[in-house]
Amino acid sequence: MKKVKITEIKPTEVIDRCLTLFGDSPEDRRKAKYTLIGGISLIVLALFWLASSKPEQETMAEGMKMAPGMPMHMRTFGPGDGYHVHKKIDPTQFKHVKDISKKSTDLPPPLQRNVPKTVTINLKATEVISDIVPMTGFHYWTFNNTVPGPFLRVRVGDTVKLTLENDKTSSHDHSIDLHAVSGPGGGAGLTEVEPGKKKSFRFKALIPGLFVYHCATPNAPTHIANGMYGLILVEPEAGLPQADKEFYIMQGELYTKGMLGQMGFQAFDGQKMIEERPEYVVFNGRPWSVVEEGAIKAQVGDRIRLFVGNGGVSKVSSFHVIGEIFDRVYPEAAISRPLEDVQTTLIPVGGATMTEFKVDVPGDYVLVDHALTRIDRGAWAILTVSGKEQPDIFSAIEPESRDIDLAKQ
Ligand SMILES: [Cu+2]
């Protein structure tokens, strides 16, 4: 018998020899050939589907709902219409904003009227590129090109006509849910708007308070984590107690693919967001925003009011000013029930607080989330108080020998 090397057999001959198993006639072999090709195709397709739908985390429960529009590696039990499909974007296609952070001093003064009126508010949803820290770019989504968005100020009883325009360059629809609204979705459903379009709605501000607003377009936490949040103050009929200075601060989180401090353009990381592991926790959009030239400035004796919100989307803030005690805190921004003499106050995610205090001693005060490791992630600000020293309240002294002896006992 002639020996045939394996390499001398052509693949088509192998197929032909296999097909003889299904019959001798050309018709039988033709049918078998198509059946074989069909079968192999089905197996390849099944293998591809299995490989692509395999969850990243083996611990994920089976039978989870996979929402439409959700990428294969992301699964959710949530009621929304799917985990965020983060589109790959080209950073050169978006407007570059030099400084994304909202100035803490950029807010309207107290309203000087005691009657309600109709107020018109125009906001623009934009997607821009800006630096989290120098050399670390990010695709921020904003209201009016800053994080947080504009501080809105109305009076209880006002009718607010709000228009949201979505910039034509946006890669997503956007919307606004204001917690000051009494009505479904806080306005989100009525303002969900495609790029290049506008939507308007009207609401009556029934309850005074300091309220968060944010984008609520699915996947809502993604839109918030990219920067779409701000505060609206609904002043009570009699206004707020007089303050010498008011400031606007909002805590937020950034979820980047690269670790804290990694340079280069950073894509958003949805997996870190769902695991509540922000790389940055910031005041006013980025680290170092309310520091140095952005620091809050006051004089000894000033009565300061801080409007502080928390966009989140995950971390409750334990807000504290190192070296000060709040004379008054409006917990969770409930204007009718202030607390007095408070050291640290909680700000829920999607909530706000107002703190008031008189600064007695000059120097630099650090504003923090007292979950203090978050300072390393960016959650700190500086209040610089200038004026005459107040040694009767605060000063260094020489230790007395009798005190030292007492300490040794
Ligand atoms: Cu949005």
Q: In 10 A of CB 316, how many CB atoms?
A: 15
Distance 282 CA to ligand 1 centre (A): 19
Given strand 209-214, what is the order of strands in its sheet?
Answer: 152-155, 229-235, 209-214, 177-178
Distance 224 CA to ligand 1 centre (A): 7
Same domain, 146 and 288: yes
Same domain, 18 and 97: no
Q: What is the pLDDT of residue 92?
A: 86
Q: What is the pLDDT of residue 74?
A: 45
CA 156 – CA 117 distance, rounded (Å)? 9
Distance 149 CA to ligand 1 centre (A): 12
Same domain, 155 and 259: yes
Distance 216 CA to ligand 1 centre (A): 6
In a domain, 334, yes or no: yes
Same domain, 34 and 105: no
Q: What is the pLDDT of residue 66?
A: 43
Contact 346, 310 (CB under 8 A): no
Q: What is the CA radius of gyration of the chain?
A: 30
Contact 228, 221 (CB under 8 A): no
Same domain, 141 and 267: yes
Same domain, 331 and 245: yes
Tell me the pTM. Answer: 0.80
Same domain, 96 and 45: no
CA 184 – CA 36 distance, rounded (Å)? 57
Distance 87 CA to ligand 1 centre (A): 14
Distance 140 CA to ligand 1 centre (A): 10
Q: What is the pLDDT of residues 375-384, one digit of tens each?
A: 999 999 999 9
Distance 116 CA to ligand 1 centre (A): 30
Q: What is the pLDDT of residues 46-55, one digit of tens each?
A: 666 655 544 4
Distance 368 CA to ligand 1 centre (A): 27
In a domain, 399, yes or no: no
Same domain, 45 and 96: no
Q: 3-state class of 7 per DSSP?
A: helix
Distance 327 CA to ligand 1 centre (A): 37
Beta-carbon neighbours within 5 Å of ion ligand 1:
174, 215, 217, 223, 228
Q: What is the pLDDT of residue 33?
A: 72
Distance 187 CA to ligand 1 centre (A): 13
328-331 contacts: CB < 8 A, separation 24 or more? 328/355, 328/356, 328/357, 329/353, 329/354, 329/355, 329/356, 330/210, 330/354, 330/355
Distance 110 CA to ligand 1 centre (A): 29
Residues of the chain with pLDDT under 50: 1, 53-75, 79-81, 83
Q: 3-state class of 107 per DSSP?
A: coil
Among 299, 326, 327, smallest CA distance to 383 is for 299
Distance 171 CA to ligand 1 centre (A): 10
Among 257, 360, 235, 227, smallest CA distance to 307 is for 235
Please name the helix (run of DSSP H) or strand (run of DSSP E) that holds residue 34, with its range, or none: helix 26-52
Distance 174 CA to ligand 1 centre (A): 4
Contact 221, 313 (CB under 8 A): yes
In a domain, 112, yes or no: yes
Please name the helix (run of DSSP H) or strand (run of DSSP E) that holds residue 131, with its range, or none: strand 118-133
Distance 13 CA to ligand 1 centre (A): 60
Distance 76 CA to ligand 1 centre (A): 20
Same domain, 121 and 213: yes
CA 224 – CA 214 distance, rounded (Å)? 6
| Domain CATH code at residue 267 | 2.60.40.420
Distance 105 CA to ligand 1 centre (A): 25
Distance 84 CA to ligand 1 centre (A): 11
Q: What is the pLDDT of residue 40?
A: 77
Q: What is the pLDDT of residue 348?
A: 98
Between the alpha carbon of residue 42 and those of residues 33, 35, 39, 46, 54, the distances in Å are 14, 11, 5, 6, 18
Distance 173 CA to ligand 1 centre (A): 6
- Burial category of 252 from C-beta neighbours within 10 Å (exposed 0-12, middle 13-18, buried 19 and up): buried
**Domain count along the chain:** 2
Q: Which domain holds residue 121?
A: 91-386
Same domain, 201 and 347: yes
Distance 142 CA to ligand 1 centre (A): 8
Distance 106 CA to ligand 1 centre (A): 22
Distance 167 CA to ligand 1 centre (A): 11
Same domain, 317 and 373: yes
In a domain, 393, yes or no: no
Q: What share of the chain is helix, strand, coil (3-state, %, to 5)?
A: 20, 35, 45
Contact 328, 355 (CB under 8 A): yes
Sign of the torsion angle spanned by Cα atoms 302, 229, 316, 234: positive
Same domain, 322 and 196: yes
Distance 217 CA to ligand 1 centre (A): 5
In a domain, 83, yes or no: no
Q: What is the pLDDT of residues 285-298, one digit of tens each?
A: 999 999 999 999 99
In a domain, 61, yes or no: no
- Identify the DSSP state of 169: T
Q: How close are the terminal C-alpha atoms of the chain, in Å? A: 107
In a domain, 302, yes or no: yes
In a domain, 409, yes or no: no
CA 170 – CA 25 distance, rounded (Å)? 63
Distance 122 CA to ligand 1 centre (A): 16
